[in-house]
Amino acid sequence: MSRAGVIDRIDALLASVTNPTFGAVLRGEPMMISQTPSVAFWLSNREVDFLTLADSSSLTEFTIRAYWRLQISRDIREDVELEVWDAIVNIDSALRGDSDLSGNVNDIEIGSASTGYTDIGGVAYRTLDIPLSVQIMGEVTITP
């Protein structure tokens, strides 16, 4: 198990989503978006899940956020709503298809998807947020 392996695997799984096809998969919360739709993910929280005398296990949370640039056209806005829904289902499917992230975690939990809007550099985007929790048993060895 490796933390770098977790990051690499999440990246690969998000890149495997083909409906919608993301123009970019970004590691870290973006300060600008060059093409849409795009998807980003970043570490949002880590906590000790439980302790033993020999090690501690962790529960680490990531935020997965997809972005669509808002358009004036009503038809395009309506198409985006279907893409958002497709993204929810297909990101969920990709992640559930590898629930141990190629052996880098013990388990994952995908939270409830939520949608909204955000502004980045004066540009408005439709967003989709999906929380992802990964459990790593015995991540930290405790030595006396």
Instruction: Collect all residues with Cβ–Cβ distance below 8 Å to 143 and sequence separation of at least 6.
Output: none
Between 3-15 and 74-96, two packed helices, what is the crossing angle to 10 degrees? Answer: 140
Question: What average pLDDT does range 36-65 have in this prediction?
Answer: 87
* Percent over 90 (pLDDT), the chain: 68
The closest of 65, 64, 67, 141 to 108, measured between CA atoms, is 64
- Sketch out the chain's domains with CATH numbers: 3-141 (3.30.70.1700)
Q: Model's pTM, two decimal places?
A: 0.89
For 12-33, the pLDDT digits (tens) are 999 999 999 999 999 999 999 9
- Checking if the pLDDT of 5 tops 70, the result is yes
- Checking if the pLDDT of 122 tops 70, the result is yes
For 66-86, the pLDDT digits (tens) are 999 987 766 666 789 999 999
